[in-house]
Amino acid sequence: MLLLAVAAGWRMWGTVLPPTVSEGETPRQPSARPTPSVFTPAHRTLGDAVEAFFGIRPEAVQPIAFSHRVHVENDLGCTDYCHPHATEGPQAGLPSLRTCMLCHATIATEHPEIQKMTAYEERGEDVTWQRVFGFVRSAHVRFNHAPHVRADVACATCHGDVGSQTVAQRLDLTMGQCIDCHEAQQAAIECVTCHF
């Protein structure tokens, strides 16, 4: 209760306080202050703030019982259909339902999970996959897949043996693990390499 009161107080203070401008100084851009739709610059909602404060990272619950193992056993590579952007840029990306249906319009159509997917398609909805990896916003981490793929760092180094899992399980990467490898492989270790 106290936390809520303090948090609510901070929010009101943030929005009510007039900008401080001393003589001769140009007023600061209003966009630098929290807008009413954002709880604080680091936390979009009160829920986000409370979760970050207690270090809570809820386990992802996926809408479709997807199995990485079944697909890897069928010789699908990670970047073939589902995560091709990992080789090109910062984000690996999650596949859209359309990508799944390239195969599942004809493969395993009687499977109950595939029938769920067909129903999504008929309703014109996409599957809302929950994110598994990622850093809390307040850590201001910037990550980029492509340089790692170019340097032949295997996906499993950071994600574990996803090919033996059903839905992906999170491995928490600490800053120490990033830096240990960067030092060993002579990659950059300046703070701005990984933070904004």
Asked if 42 is part of the footprint of ligand HEC (rule: CB under 6 A), the reply reads no
- The structure tokens listed for 48 are 């986000």
Which of 99, 64, 103, 67 shows the shortest CA–CA distance to 84? 99
Closer to ligand HEC at the Cβ: 45 or 67? 67
CB of 68 closer than 8 Å to CB of 169: no
CB of 171 closer than 8 Å to CB of 118: no
Size of the site for ligand HEC (CB under 6 A): 63
d(CA 154, CA 160): 10
d(CA 37, CA 130): 23
Closer to ligand HEC at the Cβ: 44 or 111? 111
Among 12, 56, 191, 196, binds ligand HEC (CB under 6 A): 191
Residues 118-177 that bind ligand HEC (CB under 6 A): 131-135, 138-139, 141-145, 147-149, 151, 153, 155, 157-159, 173-175, 177
Q: Which amino acid is at 2?
A: L
d(CA 118, CA 125): 10
**Cβ 77 to ligand HEC shortest distance, Å:** 9
Asked if 49 is part of the footprint of ligand HEC (rule: CB under 6 A), the reply reads no
Q: CB atoms < 10 A from the CB of 131, how many? A: 9
CA angle 168, 170, 174 (to 5 degrees): 150
Residues 1-40 that bind ligand HEC (CB under 6 A): none
**Cβ 51 to ligand HEC shortest distance, Å:** 13
Please identify, among the stretches 10-18, 27-35, 43-51, 93-101, the one whose residues bind ligand HEC according to the rule CB under 6 A.
93-101
d(CA 10, CA 77): 48
Binding site for ligand HEC (CB under 6 A): 64, 66-67, 70-71, 74, 76, 78-79, 81-83, 86, 92, 94-95, 99-100, 102-104, 107-108, 111, 113-114, 131-135, 138-139, 141-145, 147-149, 151, 153, 155, 157-159, 173-175, 177-179, 181-182, 185, 187-189, 191, 193-195
